[in-house]
Chains A and B, each alone.
Chain A
Amino acid sequence: MPDLQRSAARLLRVALGVGAALVALGILLGAVGAAGPGRLASAVGVAVVVAAPFATLIAIAMLGRKTGTAVYAAASLALAILGLLFAA
């Protein structure tokens, strides 16, 4: 279990670094007048951060190697996707 937790921590740290850097870049680009690219960078940064918990969920399911864990992860992802489809 500690290995699993360390892998999840690494994944989240990468997502955090990439997401925060892109959002900061977006703010800087917006400040110097490049509003379009700024919005794009911010949006990608936000998407990376929002996707991170779900990526962790998948990583825990894959590294945990237990059927129950995989079933709960699949159910969580299916519900989130279902919500997206209904909202769209």
Chain B
Amino acid sequence: MLVLLLFAIGAGAGALGALLGVGGGVVLVPALVFLADLSFTAAVGTSLVCVVATSVAGSAVQFGRDGVSVETAVPLQAFAVGGAVAAGLAAPLVPVRALYVAFGVLLLYAAWRAWPRERRAAGVSRPHDVAARVGAGAGGAVASLLGVGGGIVFTPLLHLVLGLDFHRAAATSVYLIGLTAGSGALVYLVRGDVALQLLGPTMLGVLLGAWLASTGARRIAAAWLTRAFAVLLVYVAARMLLRGFSGA
């Protein structure tokens, strides 16, 4: 039963990840903690591998459409990987309750970001600017520390700061999160902090969901989907913050 549930959750996370340019970790980490009863660290490690799967499935489709802005991604990727590796190594030193609180805050931010509204791309920076590189490093660090792809940082960075249109920003973000989550996942895999027995069904679900969503991404009017997603994120954020503050 748990196998089917994880497959379904993986499919949903993969689809949302591919549609919104995030990795799906905001769904996977709480699901693995609350439904599969994994420790936060094991949930983060397992989620990171699934986020790589989202990226591989989404990027395979987006590269085929010439959708990824390679010239924007290349100057940022080393900084994103550097942030991911540094945060992955520092993760065991950070108290678990602080990570729950940080994840709860991240989910509230993700809910605010996901709510559909008019956004104007500013294009105030270029990929070689220090601000863009610092942003990429921060995205990598968030990815590795909290088990998400970092797309919550990358998509706004690429769309609002670097001026790419939303679909191109989401596609480029999906490519970048593969590198950040991959770097973090390697660290967690070597440390043995990945629940391999739960990974198979979750990852297959993620691959299927991300593939289907990437194939139909431009046909989907995602406004209601993202509203429902935002409400779900607020609910999960409340549970994470409760656990972080009370230890329950």
Contacts and interface: CB of A to CB of B under 8 A. Distances in A.
B35 interface: no
B179 A2 contact: no
Interface string B158-187: 000000000000000001001100110111
A86 to B, nearest CB: 5
A34 interface: no
**By DSSP majority rule, is chain A's interface helix, strand, loop, or mixed?**
helix
A84 B189 CA distance: 9
A53 B186 contact: no
Nearest to B7: A27
A57 to B, nearest CB: 7
Interface string A47-85: 001111110110010001000110011011001101110
A10 to B, nearest CB: 8
B51 to A, nearest CB: 10
A23 B78 contact: no
B196 A80 contact: no
Contact of B57 (A16, A50, A56): A16
Interface string B139-171: 000000000000000000000000000000000
Contact of B70 (A15, A64, A76): A64
